[in-house]
């Protein structure tokens, strides 16, 4: 019975993807905003930021929400680790000294609760480090992803139109 429910859910998601409407630019821009927001260390607010950016720039809100799933339980540790390393190198902090030493221990911790406690316990310097690193990492991923998804959504829409013409 669970297998049937899982098949129904995948079929539903497939049909939603097939029926996705919009200009490839709007869809790709929404995905880029979602990926950008997903790379920032604002864990409970990824979707809110992605949808707000999509509203301001008139992009697809659905793909913006989908793009935030780049940050998931499997990828959150490396994303946050690189946010910290990028931010600390830009700001010139030594990751093994001073107030940021509790965050440097993340190399040994795979527990999400421990990681979040270490980040929050490190103070304002760590927050600035993570935010700066997250913005840089988000831009580094979102810009190329926009062009990749622009091509993919354009090809998908062209495929869907040719399929409709073939049926008619």
pLDDT in tens, 15-68: 776 677 789 999 999 999 999 999 998 888 899 999 999 999 999 998 999 999
Residue 13 forms part of a structural domain:
no
Range of the domain at 45: 22-167
Could you count the other beta carbons within 10 Å of the beta carbon of residue 71?
A: 22
Q: Considering the domain boundaries, does residue 78 fall inside one? A: yes
Residue with tokens 């700001």: 91
- Domain-embedded: residue 17: no
- What's the chain's length in residues? 168
123 has pLDDT over 80: no
pLDDT computed for residue 32 by the predictor? 97
pTM of the model: 0.79
Q: What's the rounded Cα separation, in Å, for the pair 138 and 131?
A: 10
The number of distinct structural domains making up the chain is 1
Provide the pLDDT for residue 113. Answer: 65
Is there a domain that residue 67 lies in?
Answer: yes
Greater confidence (131 vs 106) lies with 131
- Cα 163 from Cα 168, distance rounded (Å): 9
**Segment 101-107 mean pLDDT:** 55
pLDDT at 134: 93
Residue 144 has pLDDT above 70, yes or no: yes
Which DSSP category does 44 fall into? G
Closest by CA to 86, choosing from 137, 141, 140, is 137
Question: In the prediction, which pLDDT does 149 show?
Answer: 95
Torsion, CA 145, CA 148, CA 150, CA 156, rounded to 10: -130
44, part of any domain: yes
The SS3 of residue 23 is coil
- Distance (Å, rounded) from C-alpha 71 to C-alpha 159? 29
Residue 14 lies in a domain: no
Kindly state whether residue 32 falls inside one of the protein's structural domains: yes
Cα 48 → chain centroid: 12
For residue 135, being part of any structural domain is answered with: yes
Q: Where are the alpha helices (DSSP H) in 19-123?
A: 24-39, 46-56, 61-67, 76-91, 101-104, 112-121
């Amino acid at each position: 019975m669970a297998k049937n429910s899982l098949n129904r859910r995948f079929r539903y998601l497939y049909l939603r993807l097939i029926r996705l409407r919009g200009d490839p630019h709007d869809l790709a821009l929404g995905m880029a905003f979602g990926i950008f927001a997903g790379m920032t260390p604002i864990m409970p607010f990824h979707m809110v930021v992605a949808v707000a950016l999509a509203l301001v720039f008139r992009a697809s809100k659905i793909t913006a929400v989908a793009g935030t799933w780049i940050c998931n339980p499997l990828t959150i540790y490396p994303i946050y680790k690189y946010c910290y390393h990028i931010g600390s190198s830009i700001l010139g902090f030594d990751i093994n000294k001073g107030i940021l030493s509790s965050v440097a221990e993340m190399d040994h911790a795979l527990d999400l609760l421990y990681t979040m406690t270490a980040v929050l316990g490190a103070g304002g310097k760590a927050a600035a480090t993570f935010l700066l690193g997250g913005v840089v990492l988000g831009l580094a991923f979102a810009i190329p992803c926009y062009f990749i998804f622009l091509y993919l959504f354009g090809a998908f829409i062209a495929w869907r139109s040719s399929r409709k013409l073939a049926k008619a």
